[in-house]
Amino acid sequence: MVVIKQGAEAKLTLGEFGGKQCLIKERFVKHYRHPDLDAHLTKERMRAESKTSARCQAAGVNAPQILHMDLNERKIYMEYFEKSITAKDYINNVLPKVSDSAEREQRINKLTGEIGTCIGKMHTNNLIHGDLTTSNILLDPLETDDSSFRDYKLIMIDFGLSSWSQSSEVKGVDLYVLERSLLSTHSGIPNLFNSILDAYKAANTGNLTEIIAKFEEVRARGRKRTMVG
Ligand SMILES: Nc1ncnc2c1ncn2[C@@H]1O[C@H](COP(=O)(O)OP(=O)(O)OP(=O)(O)O)[C@@H](O)[C@H]1O
Ligand SMILES: [Mg+2]
């Protein structure tokens, strides 16, 4: 059995469905939770994962095709992007190898532009990711032998905490989660979030002013909390 990742929440292994290679995401039983609550939460997350994946695709945002779901075994079978890497690995391991600084900057702009556009499309369709981090965004190379990822398709993954909501505040919080995670994961590149936000604004067609106001409100509350300790 090929294990792709063993995380705190789930184990990802390679498997097969309908004669095709796929990825199996199996959520662990959490023994510190009451068994009924744990079973309930796991099912909610699996349903959210499969629903939002399909809704993203309908909205023109790339996401894995969900092939099969086994609620009792806690397994989701999904499309596997074999050559992909996470945006986190791209920023941390691929970009530093680009020696030309102008090209590096161009690549950062392309990436932040695409991420902002994706999130903008999701929010326009009232799809809230719930856990926006660079580990939950994949780059799938267009040319299979392109190990430097010159051109790629962006794919959103990990929708266990996702939801459908029209609320500007919920969208603002989604953006705030991303900002916080970028600040901690990619502190060396300070403008990532602002460039993502620029592209987001260009792609989001609904309630933009209100979403940004809510985002700033949530951020101010966060700052205050940090100051008070
Ligand atoms: N469809 C996929 N194709 C290729 N790689 C994937 C795919 N889905 C996930 N991965 C890889 O596995 C990692 C973990 O997947 P995922 O983010 O879904 O789970 P998780 O973060 O452990 O779970 P959760 O946040 O739901 O508890 C990703 O960061 C990515 O590297
Ligand atoms: Mg994840």
pLDDT at 78: 98
158 assigned to active site = no
Distances, alpha carbon 50 to alpha carbons 39, 61, 75, in Å: 17, 14, 11
Nearest protein CA to atom 31 of ligand 1, as residue: 86
Q: Indicate if the pLDDT at residue 226 is higher than 90.
A: no
Our answer on whether the CB atom of 211 is closer than 6 Å to any ligand 1 atom is no
Nearest protein CA to atom 1 of ligand 1, as residue: 80
Percentage of the chain lying above the pLDDT 90 cut: 92
pLDDT at 209: 98
Distance CA 131, CA 119 (A): 12
Our answer on whether the CB atom of 122 is closer than 6 Å to any ligand 1 atom is no
Arithmetic mean of pLDDT, 69-95: 97
Domains of the chain: 3-78 (3.30.200.20), 85-228 (1.10.510.10)
> Would you place residue 46 in the very low, low, confident or very high pLDDT band (cuts 50, 70, 90)?
very high
pLDDT digits (tens, 9 = 90+) for 90-117: 999 999 999 999 999 999 999 999 999 9
Of 182, 154, 167, residue with least CA distance to 123 = 167
Model pTM score: 0.96
Distance CA 175, CA 119 (A): 9
Structure tokens at 188: 């060396």
Arithmetic mean of pLDDT, 204-227: 92
Distance CA 219, CA 179 (A): 9
Q: Which of 49, 153, 158, 162 to mutate to test the pocket of ligand 1 (most atoms within 8 A of CB)?
A: 158
Those residues whose C-beta lies under 8 Å from the C-beta of residue 61, and which sit 6 or more positions away, are 118, 121, 122, 127, 156
Arithmetic mean of pLDDT, 121-145: 96
Q: Give the burial string for 160-173 (b: 16+ CB within 10 Å, else e).
A: bbbbebeebebbbb
